[in-house]
């Protein structure tokens, strides 16, 4: 069985999202990598899933996250905790910048033997750059790079690697990266 997911970065307009298809028997750890690559993140920060008020991620007993237990994402199979299609849960990336994603199970599909899952079938807009300061910082970043007269314009473009197209979801690169996730 294949889960078709729509992953949307919350609190941004226009929205940034990806539509991906994953096998139902993947772990949450595998789904973490699918989200990272699909959205364009670099796995440089902590993350967690919240599914039916239960927190999943990488347990770190040395840190006390407000006494909330974190269940090990490596041992949790997606189909065992997702009751049905039309189900939503959240994925939080970078506890400082707080990039909250809504993961929506759009539909369940039969696997196509011609497709090498996971696959990103659609998406809109580029992922914000890492460490840009969350939603507010990203909006400021966009204003600066789009205004060639802004005093920080050149510095911001250099920081992001010389070029940034906020409209390009880079689906070819996403799908190439998805093929690199170990099975």
pLDDT score of 114 more than 70: yes
Question: 103-138 burial, b for 16+ CB within 10 Å, e for fewer?
Answer: bbbeeeeeeeeeeebbbbeebebbbbbbebebbeeb
| d(C-alpha 105, C-alpha 108), whole Å | 8
Mean predicted confidence (pLDDT) in 49-63: 87
Q: At what angle do helices 171-178 and 28-39 cross, to 10 degrees?
A: 150
Q: Tell me what the mean pLDDT of segment 76-102 comes to.
A: 94
In this predicted structure, what is the pLDDT of residue 63? 65
| Average pLDDT score over the chain | 94
CA atoms within 13 A on the CB side of 110: 3
> Does residue 68 register a pLDDT over 70?
yes
Residue 127 pLDDT exceeds 90:
yes
What confidence score (pLDDT) does residue 57 get?
A: 94
Q: What pLDDT is attached to residue 121?
A: 98
Residue 60, pLDDT score:
78
For domain 2-126+168-178, the CATH class is alpha beta
Can you tell me the mean pLDDT for 92-119? 96
Domain map (residue ranges) of the chain: 2-126+168-178, 127-166
């Amino acid at each position: 069985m294949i889960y078709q997911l729509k992953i949307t970065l919350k609190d941004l307009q226009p929205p940034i999202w990806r539509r991906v298809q994953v096998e139902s028997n993947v772990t949450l750890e595998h789904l973490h990598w699918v989200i990272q690559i699909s959205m364009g993140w670099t796995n440089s920060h902590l993350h967690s899933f919240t599914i039916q008020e239960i927190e999943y991620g990488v347990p770190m007993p040395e840190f006390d996250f407000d006494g909330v237990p974190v269940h090990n994402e490596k041992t949790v199979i997606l189909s065992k905790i997702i009751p049905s299609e039309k189900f939503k849960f959240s994925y939080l990336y970078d506890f400082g910048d707080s990039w909250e994603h809504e993961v929506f199970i759009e539909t369940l599909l039969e696997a196509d033997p011609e497709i090498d899952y996971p696959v990103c079938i659609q998406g809109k807009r580029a992922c914000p750059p890492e460490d840009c300061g969350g939603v507010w910082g990203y909006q400021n970043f966009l204003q600066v790079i789009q205004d060639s007269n802004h005093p920080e314009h050149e510095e911001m473009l250099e920081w992001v690697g010389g070029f940034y197209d906020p409209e390009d979801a880079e689906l070819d690169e996403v799908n190439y990266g998805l093929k690199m996730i170990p099975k």
